[in-house]
A and B are shown apart, each in its own frame.
Chain A
Amino acid sequence: MTAGTTTRSATRQGALGTSAPRPDGIPKVQGRFAFSSDAWAEHMLWGATLRSPHPHARIRSIDVSAALALPGVSRIITADDVPGQLTYGLITADQPVFARDVVRYVGEPVAAVAADHPETARRALQLIVVDYEPLPALLTAAAAIDPATPAIHPDGNVIRHQRIVHGDQNVVGDVIVEGTYDIGMQDQAFLGLEAALALPDDDGNGVELYVATQWLHEDQKQIAACLGVPEERVRLTLGGVGGAFGGREDISLQVHCCLLALATGRPIKMQYGREESFLGHIHRHPASIWLRHHATRDGIIRRIEARLVFDGGAYASTSSAVLINGITHIQGPYRCASATVDGWAVRTNNPPCGAMRGFGVVQACFAHESQMDKLAAAVNLSPVEVRLRNAMRTGDTLITGQVVDSVAPVERCIRETAALPMPTDLADEPDPLDLPGGAGLTADRRHVRRGVGWGVSIKNLMYSEGFDDYATARCTVRDGAVTLEFATAEVGQGFVVLAQQIARTVLGLDDVYLEPISTNVGSAGSTSASRQTWMSGGAVDGACKHVRDQILAHVASTHGLEVSRLRIEDVDVVDDLGTLRIPVREATTGVSFTHTFEYHHRPTEELDANGQGNCHVAYAFVAHRAVVDVDVELGLVKVVQVATAQDVGKVLNPLAAIGQIEGGIAQGLGLAVMEEIILDNGKLRNPSFTDYLLPTALDAPTVVATMIEEPEPLAPLGAKGIGEPPCISVTPAIVAAIRDATGAALTRVPVRPQDVVGA
Chain B
Amino acid sequence: MSGEPEFYDLRVNGATHAVSDAWLGESLLYVLRERLGLPGTKGACEQGECGSCTVLIDGDAVCACLVMAADAVDANVTTVEGLSAPTTLTDVQASFLAAGGVQCGFCTPGLVVAVHHLLDTNPNPSENEIREAISGNICRCTGYGRIFEAVRTAREERVAVRARGQK
Which A residues fall within an 8 A CB radius of B? 19, 21-22, 24-26, 28-35, 37-38, 40, 71-72, 116-117, 119-120, 123, 188-193, 240-245, 273-274, 431, 433-434, 439, 491-494, 655-656, 658-659, 661-667, 688-690, 694-698, 700, 703
Contacts and interface: CB of A to CB of B under 8 A. Distances in A.
A264 B98 CA distance: 46
A677 to B, nearest CB: 15
Residue picked from A191, A241, A659, most chain B C-beta under 10 Å: A191
A243 B143 contact: no
Interface in B114-139: 128, 130-132, 134-139
Interface residues of B, number: 58
Given A190-B104, A700-B143, A29 B46 contact: no
Given A116-B1, A433-B128, A665-B143, A696 B106 contact: no
B1 A119 contact: yes
Contacts of B75: none
Contacts, number: 195
Contacts of B148: 697, 700
Nearest to A694: B138
A242 B52 CA distance: 11
B20 interface: no
By secondary structure, the A interface counts as: loop
B39 A191 contact: no
A433 B127 CA distance: 10
A656 B100 contact: yes
A190 B140 contact: yes
A708 B37 CA distance: 47
Nearest to B41: A31
Given A188-B140, A697-B135, 14 more contacts: A22-B97, A25-B97, A28-B108, A37-B43, A241-B104, A242-B105, A273-B46, A494-B103, A664-B143, A688-B45, A697-B137, A698-B131, A698-B135, A700-B143
B142 A659 contact: yes
A274 B105 contact: no
B12 interface: no
A31 B80 contact: yes
A663 B103 contact: yes
A662 B102 contact: no
A439 B132 contact: yes
Interface stretch (B66-74, B81-89, B159-167): B81-89
A71 B33 CA distance: 24
A437 to B, nearest CB: 13
B36 interface: no
A358 to B, nearest CB: 15
B18 interface: no
A29 B110 CA distance: 9
Contacts of B102: 22, 24-25, 28-29
B48 to A, nearest CB: 9
B49 A19 contact: no
Contacts of B142: 659, 662-663, 666
B40 A655 contact: no
A21 B89 CA distance: 14
B144 A274 contact: no
By secondary structure, the B interface counts as: loop
B143 A662 contact: yes
Contact of B97 (A29, A37, A434, A667): A29
9 cross-chain pairs, A with B, having the tightest CB-CB distances, nearest first: A31-B40, A492-B104, A242-B106, A28-B105, A666-B143, A31-B80, A655-B100, A662-B143, A689-B49
Nearest to A271: B43
Contacts of B45: 274, 688-690
Residue picked from A19, A30, A689, most chain B C-beta under 10 Å: A30
Given A24-B105, A655-B146, A191 B138 contact: yes
Interface string B27-48: 0000001000001111111110
Given A434-B128, A703-B143, A274 B104 contact: no
Contact of B93 (A24, A29, A37, A663): A29
A193 B143 CA distance: 19
5 contacts: A28-B108, A193-B43, A193-B44, A659-B100, A697-B131
B148 to A, nearest CB: 7
Contact of B47 (A19, A242, A656, A688): A688
Contacts of B112: 29, 31
Contacts of A655: 99-100, 146
A698 B132 contact: yes
Contacts of A492: 103-105, 141
Contact of A697 (B41, B94, B144): B144
A700 B144 contact: yes
A703 B86 CA distance: 35
A492 B83 CA distance: 23
Nearest to A432: B128
A30 B112 CA distance: 8
Interface string B43-67: 1111101101000000000000000
A274 B96 contact: no
B16 interface: no
Nearest to A434: B128
A698 B139 CA distance: 12
Contacts of A24: 102, 105
A161 B27 CA distance: 50
Nearest to B94: A29
Contacts of B43: 37, 193
B14 interface: no
Contacts of A25: 97, 102, 105
B10 interface: no
A491 B103 CA distance: 8
Given A242-B106, A689-B50, A694-B140, A30 B40 contact: yes
A666 B147 CA distance: 13
B77 interface: no
Contact of B128 (A19, A188, A241, A431): A431
B46 A697 contact: no
A662 to B, nearest CB: 4
A37 B145 contact: no
A191 B128 CA distance: 24
A141 to B, nearest CB: 28
A30 B86 contact: yes
